[in-house]
Structure 1
């Protein structure tokens, strides 16, 4: 079954479930009768997959969710939701208005009542729509991600400060206490200036390494600078690409993997439907949330994508709440 057909099927289920709740006076709040606890329900209903598996003698997968077929009365509404979802997926959060996060939260609460229950009690406000890194430069965001890769936040901040000073750029005091590489520079009104790609290319590898960068990271940043300086990459071109195109383009550059691309899509391009399956915290939280066993190499990417279909087209917002869930509950 194609991705489009699977998405339509999940959307159909979301509409039908919402319609049923509306008919019984359910406003979307979680109740003991309808609360989802992973692949099972507490209302005694047997998922369709397990019914079919029992009939055939084959054990069903606990990962794959099942959706009821749409009824004739829901067809028009399902088509409208599908069209709206496509538009949401293709547009950055920042262009969808200040009510976007509230709309996403309401949708997630309807399609995943258990997540809705957590959203209602989460003490933090979702910050995905907040601008990250006030300079707005894609080159800065990607170069900074490379600097911060695979080292502690304290070490990364020190190296980042030395890197900027190679170009006679000073950091605001806020960076000294900042932990998040995607932060908005605390209370400062402006972010520090960042070197242009041509300025970075004027530096030798040895000079870049003097800031504390490893040989590989220095090479990666120079290669990234070359891509932007030559015009192969630009803020305009990256912003106009689909999520898949951004992923293919950036992962072809040394030093940029899928995790870095996912963070770039979520926090810099503000894309609403990103699922960072390589992020261990998101994976652990999803396993806890859906009741799926967590292992070093499991569940696989495809299984996490299947679980997260209920969150579309707001997977970025749901992933943000997965980070909060892990901070709240110890695994």
Structure 2
């Protein structure tokens, strides 16, 4: 068993986890082996999506180091503040040229009102995912991660996440990781609790590999 330094899942989520365990015996094995499910959250609004940009296509450790340097810059996690920073400041924090462009596009979307924390929260799942994916540098995965961890939506499954594919392959003893389309089809069996199934699979993968998530690392 491992120590859980995160809050326990909310009561409604615990009921969903029990239903999933009855439906899928392999998912039912995860908490007994890996410890209580950590209830991870992400910040909403601009900071949460900016953090997603920082973490794209690099290790969690590298992403955490970049985020620490970025939040140390005055105003960097507000849209106006980030737009006021020079490219040299953002490069010094560790952002690549493409990520600087993506961060600025995100800041402009929030500064113009095209995106807002309240607006995203009021949208249905697919509408919110599409709004986020409409920003340069963000895609469906970024939108799904935001809905899952910042809005805590119950039935979102980021099928493009490699760790989820690897976790399911390991859990089921598959010869290879399922591709995104196949993983999305497999996740249909977990409706309406696909978000909980994703959390369980990440929990299994962290335990199986010993790799920290970005949320396990100090970010400030």
User: Fold conserved (TM > 0.5)?
Assistant: yes
Distance 1:323 1:155, change over 3 A: closer
Counterpart in the other structure of 2:72: 165
Match of 1:326 among 182, 192, 205: 205
For residues 204 and 92 of structure 2, the distance between their equivalents in structure 1, rounded to whole angstroms, comes to: 39
1:280 partnered with 2:162:
yes
Q: CA deviation at 1:101?
A: 2.2
1:149 partnered with 2:56:
yes
Q: CA deviation at 1:209?
A: 1.9
1:238 partnered with 2:145:
no
Structure with higher helix content? 2
Match of 1:208 among 62, 68, 90: 90
Are the counterparts in 2 of residues 205 and 219 from structure 1 also a CA contact under 8 Å?
Answer: no
Which residues of structure 2 form unaligned runs of 5+?
A: 1-8, 210-220
What secondary structure does 1:210 align onto? helix
1:105 partnered with 2:11:
no
Superposed CA RMSD in Å reads 2.3
For residues 210 and 101 of structure 1, the distance between their equivalents in structure 2, rounded to whole angstroms, comes to: 41
For residues 267 and 287 of structure 1, the distance between their equivalents in structure 2, rounded to whole angstroms, comes to: 23
Cα-to-partner distance string for 1:221-242 (whole Å, 9 max, x where unaligned): 1111110011100011100112
For residues 309 and 132 of structure 1, the distance between their equivalents in structure 2, rounded to whole angstroms, comes to: 25
Counterpart in the other structure of 2:129: 247
Are the counterparts in 2 of residues 239 and 269 from structure 1 also a CA contact under 8 Å?
Answer: yes
For residues 306 and 139 of structure 1, the distance between their equivalents in structure 2, rounded to whole angstroms, comes to: 31
Normalised by the length of structure 2, the TM-score is 0.80
For residues 147 and 277 of structure 1, the distance between their equivalents in structure 2, rounded to whole angstroms, comes to: 20
1:126 partnered with 2:37:
yes
For residues 20 and 173 of structure 2, the distance between their equivalents in structure 1, rounded to whole angstroms, comes to: 18
Residues 1-331 of structure 1 aligned to structure 2 (within 5 Å): 98-119=10-31, 121-128=32-39, 131-133=41-43, 137-167=44-74, 195-290=77-172, 292-295=174-177, 299-329=178-208
Are the counterparts in 1 of residues 50 and 77 from structure 2 also a CA contact under 8 Å?
Answer: no
For residues 195 and 114 of structure 1, the distance between their equivalents in structure 2, rounded to whole angstroms, comes to: 40
For residues 314 and 160 of structure 1, the distance between their equivalents in structure 2, rounded to whole angstroms, comes to: 31
Which residues of structure 1 form unaligned runs of 5+?
A: 1-96, 170-193
For residues 122 and 101 of structure 1, the distance between their equivalents in structure 2, rounded to whole angstroms, comes to: 19
Are the counterparts in 2 of residues 139 and 197 from structure 1 also a CA contact under 8 Å?
Answer: yes
Instruction: Specify the structure having the higher radius of gyration (Cα).
Output: 1
Normalised by the length of structure 1, the TM-score is 0.55
Cα-to-partner distance string for 1:41-83 (whole Å, 9 max, x where unaligned): xxxxxxxxxxxxxxxxxxxxxxxxxxxxxxxxxxxxxxxxxxx
Distance 1:101 1:219, change over 3 A: same
Distance 1:229 1:329, change over 3 A: closer
Aligned residues: 201
